[in-house]
Structure 1
């Protein structure tokens, strides 16, 4: 098992990749701490993990609140032997689709507070329990290197905040290495899970053929498919496993070749 005997916190456990991260981490042998604002959904995923023989607890947490981040780290460590082996910062706030001229500064600020500072708050809270071998993965987006948008606006606020997270990850890696903590970043592209399926269905409802919608998405993806949610989650979890224990400060593009870093 890839994560046998490890204690792993996953923030942002929602209907998208967050729940896949939690379920797969548990299946790979980890004791999983599920965190997000939606307590009912957390409990649903936790109960499913427990029913399948896994180990998991659910702790509601808003990463924009430092007190809640500190409590999450403390409670997670107390539940599973005083140690945290991995932290996946996948909590996010998407915010508005906008152009420069109609961008909302308050919305941009909110995106930065959750996507970048939220990861900083939670990582900082976990440092005492991650020392000597722990790993952090910051979940980012391809939109930080390949701007994305359409007639309805650009994915600007979200991408700019995640771009700051990319840089923060390098500083985390440089600083926390002295404590034996690794920090890496995964830049995700299209992820075929519930949110993207909802987008596809909305296009179908608007009169487009499903095959044409998918072909439009995959046109520039060399592997020819929308990367499945479970496979994307596995790539993230690999970065907290011992298979990457000498990798730190790296950015892994998880997008089927849609963007290839120089």
Structure 2
């Protein structure tokens, strides 16, 4: 198992890749701290993990609140005595709109959750990781920071700040054994996208086929498979990798 006995916190464990990451990390042997704002949602994930023989606890957290972030880290330590990994998957996506007319309030909220929220969580886990002599932080970012997309400017700006957080922390934490990396996700097949495709009615299948044809791997990557890159970066197999940005988008970042 890639993550056997590692204690991993996952924020933003809502529908989609956040939930897939929790379940997949547990299947790889991790003890998972499942976190999101909805207690019902995260308790359901924990029950599912436990039902399959895994270990997990549910800890509600809004990453825009520093005290809640610190409480989340403390819950992991209280339960298992250490923190080996942090996955910053919590996000806020503003409305799709061009920057020319973008809501500044929504933009600031995106920065507060996507970038500052990740920093709050990093600040909360770094002391325990430093004391233990190492750890891994994985920041979940987006293809839109490499490949501008109409209407995605506000979200991409906030995630670009997250990308810089990765590079900055990787340098600042030199010699501590704490690694910090980014995954750049693109279109992912999972509950959120399935819901969107369903909302298109008769046009849904055509949209799915068109989008798949534009991605070099020939299909829309499933979120559970994209999450495997996160497990790699959390694992000892990535012991010499820090400050990196890994494209996990089926090659979409190089497609015209």
Tell whether 2:116 aligns with 1:122. Answer: no
CA contact (8 A) 2:198 2:204 kept: no
Distance in 2 separating the partners of 1:11 and 1:49? 16
Q: Which residue of 2 aligns with 1:201?
A: 198
Q: Does 1:34 align with 2:55?
A: no
What secondary structure is seen at the aligned counterpart in 2 of 1:182? Answer: strand
Find the counterpart in structure 1 of residue 152 from structure 2.
Answer: 155
Query: What are the Cα deviations for residues 19-75 of structure 1, in whole angstroms up to 9, with x where unaligned?
Result: 000001111101000111011000000011011110000000000000110111011
Does the CA-based 8 Å contact 2:166-2:180 persist in structure 1?
A: yes
The answer for the alignment partner of 1:239 in structure 2 is 233
Contact 1:253–1:260, Cα closer than 8 Å, also in 2: no
1-side partners of 2:140 and 2:46: how far apart?
21
Matches within 5 A, 1:19-168: 19-81=19-81, 83-131=82-130, 132-149=133-150, 154-168=151-165
Cα distance in structure 1, aligned partners of 2:88 and 2:245: 14
Mapping for residues 175-190 of structure 1, pairs under 5 Å: 175-190=172-187
2:210 is aligned, of 211, 216, 235, to 216
1:214 offset after TM fit, Å? 1.4
Tell me how far apart the structure 2 counterparts of residues 257 and 92 of structure 1 sit (CA, whole Å). 23
Task: Please list the CA deviations of residues 110-143 of structure 1 after superposition, one character each: whole Å capped at 9, or x if unmatched.
Answer: 0000000000000010001122120000000000
Deviation digits for residues 2-31 of structure 1, max 9, x if unmatched?
000100000000011000000011111010
Name the SS for the 1:184 alignment partner. strand
Superposed CA RMSD in Å reads: 1.2
| TM-score (normalizing by structure 1) | 0.94
Unpaired stretches in structure 2, ≥5 consecutive residues: none
Q: TM-score by structure 2 length?
A: 0.96
Shift of 1:96: 1.3
How far apart are the structure 2 equivalents of 1:191 and 1:2? 23
1:252 deviation in Å? 0.2
CA distance in 1, matches of 2:100, 2:235: 44
* Post-superposition offset of 1:209: 5.3
- Which ranges of structure 1 fall in alignment gaps of 5 or more residues? none
